[in-house]
Structure 1
C-alpha cells in the first residue's frame, strides 16, 4: 500500500484522475474489484468501455449491476475530481487544528459552499473509525463548547454552552455531545462504555459521585489545587480539550450545536491516529471512506 511522505509527493504522484482512481482501487479493493452491491470479489468483472476507453466502470458478473470505485463511498455522486478530493483530505488530516472552508476553497479551486460540503463529508467519515476499549485506566472529563457565556454563568460549567464528554484510555479518546452534565447523564455514558471494576479518573465534579460502587474511582480535586495524586491525573484528556478548543476558536471560530458532534469526531480521529505519519493516516482514511452522505442529509442532521 502506498504511503506518501508529503503533500508534494502526493501531488507529483497523483497527477491525473486516472492515477487517483488506480490508487483508490488499490487502497479499497486490493488486487480484485469488489462489487458493492452483492460483495462478489472477482478480477473478471466486466470492464465497460466508453468511446473505446476504460474509465473504471465495471459490470458485476453476478448481479449484473454497474459500479466503480466511487460507488458506496464518500465520493459517490460527487462531480469533484478525485485529485481535488485527495488534496482536501490530505490537508484536512495533516492540519492539527483543521482547515476552514474559506481556506480550502482557495487552496483547491472550488466554491466556498462546495468546500464546506466536502469538509462535512470528510468529517462524517471520521466517525467511529478507531475502536476504543475502556477496560483499564480511563480518564473522564467534560467540557463546554459554543457561544460566549454571559452574566453570572460566565465562569465554570455554564449551561449556555454545549457540554461534551470525553473518555480517554490506552491513548485513545472518545467524545460524546451530551444534553447536560448531570449525574444521570454522565453515569449513563460511563456505565455503557467503561468495563465494571476498572479504574476511572475524574475531577471532583459532583456528577461523578457514587461511581466507587462499580469502579476503582480516583478523584483529582482540582478545586484544591491538586492535579496529580498517586500517579493519577486527568492531564491527557484535558490536553485533548485544548486541541479541540484551539481549533474551534482559531480556525472555525463558531460551531453550531447541530454540527458540533462532527467537529468533535474530526479532532478525535486526528488524536487517535497521531502516531501515524500524514501519509499513513491519509491512506488509511481513503481506504475506509465508506460513509456516503448527501448535502440534504448534512444540512438536515
Structure 2
C-alpha cells in the first residue's frame, strides 16, 4: 500500500471522504482479512455498522477504529490523517495553535489530537542498541536569566540553575535509533541512568559519554570512552558525542521555537515525537506517514487521562 502525496493539500485531496479513510485504515491494519481487536481471531462477518467476530467464544462487534487511537473519536478521520502527516513531516513539529488554523478546528481539539499521535509514536518494542552508542543528558525548562529576581534568588538558595528544570536522558546508536527518557529528578544521578542503560544498550557496545562523574562506573560493565568537554576536548577521532548533541539541538529548537513551553507532565510524549522523526529521518514524508499507521493499534489516550 503506497500513497503518493507530497503536501497537506494532496493528503486532503487523497483522503476526500470517510469511506476512503476507512478503507485505507482497514488495509493498513488487516490487509484483506479483518482481525478481531477483542480476541485476536482472524475473520469476521460484515455488518451494517462494521464487523462481528467469527469466533464462537467472542462474537463481539467492532469497527475499523476499535482498538486504535481513533476509537470513539468524533473528529473525522480525514482530519486525523492530516494531523498525523503534519506531526510526522514537520522536522521540529507543529503547535496546536498552528494545527487549529490549518485544519479549521479548535485549539483544544488540535492539542488533544497531537497528544494522542505522540502517544502512538512511542517505541514500545525497541531492540537493544549496539555498536557505538552515545549517551548524554539535557535539561528542559526556562532559562535562569529569564526568571524574576525573586525566582533567581530562590534557585541560588535551593540548588542552582537546573533546580527547576526537567532531566532528559538520551542514548543514540550511531547510524541507528535514539531513545529518550524523562526523569522526574531535577538532576541526573548514576542510579537513575544505569537501569536505563542496562535495559537499552547491549553489553558488547562501545559507550561514549562526556566527562560527567556519574558515568565513571560504566567501565566495569561496558567499553567506555570519555570526551572531556571541561578541557575543551570535543572530539578525539571517532570518539565524540556530537551526534547526540545534534539531536538535542534539534529537540531544543523545536521546544523553544515551536512549542515555547512544555510541562514536565507531557514532556515524554514530546520526546516520543522527536525521537520518532529522528529514527525515520532517512525515509520520505509519505513513507514515514505510512509507517506511523503500523503503531495505531492498542493505543488509547482519553482526554480525562490526558488532563488528570
Report the TM-score, using the length of structure 1 for normalisation.
0.91
Give the C-alpha shift of residue 147 in structure 1. Answer: 2.4
Q: In structure 2, the residue corresponding to 1:124 is in which secondary structure?
A: helix
In 2, Cα distance between the equivalents of 1:230 and 1:243? 24
Give the C-alpha shift of residue 12 in structure 1. Answer: 2.2
Matches within 5 A, 1:163-202: 163-170=167-174, 171-178=176-183, 179=185, 180-202=187-209
Aligned partner of 2:291 in structure 1 is 284
Unaligned runs of 5+ in 2: 146-151
Q: Do the aligned partners of 1:140 and 1:166 also contact (CA within 8 Å) in 2?
A: yes
Q: In structure 2, the residue corresponding to 1:163 is in which secondary structure?
A: strand
Give the C-alpha shift of residue 119 in structure 1. Answer: 0.6
Aligned partner of 2:130 in structure 1 is 135
Q: Is 1:271 matched with 2:275?
A: no
Aligned partner of 2:52 in structure 1 is 59
Q: Do the aligned partners of 2:134 and 2:171 also contact (CA within 8 Å) in 1?
A: yes
Q: Is 1:103 matched with 2:111?
A: no
Q: Do the aligned partners of 2:127 and 2:200 also contact (CA within 8 Å) in 1?
A: no
Aligned partner of 2:304 in structure 1 is 296
Unaligned runs of 5+ in 1: 50-54
In 2, Cα distance between the equivalents of 1:238 and 1:132? 22
Aligned partner of 2:148 in structure 1 is none
Aligned partner of 1:261 in structure 2 is 268
In 1, Cα distance between the equivalents of 2:138 and 2:130? 23
Deviates further, 193-202 or 29-38: 193-202
Give the C-alpha shift of residue 190 in structure 1. Answer: 1.9
Matched residue count? 292
Aligned partner of 1:46 in structure 2 is 45
When the two chains are superposed, the root-mean-square deviation of aligned CA atoms in Å is 1.9
Report the TM-score, using the length of structure 2 for normalisation.
0.89
Tell me: CA distance 1:14–1:192, structure 2 relative to 1, closer, same or farther (3 Å).
closer
In 1, Cα distance between the equivalents of 2:279 and 2:107? 29
In 2, Cα distance between the equivalents of 1:216 and 1:259? 34
Aligned partner of 2:14 in structure 1 is 13
Aligned partner of 1:52 in structure 2 is none
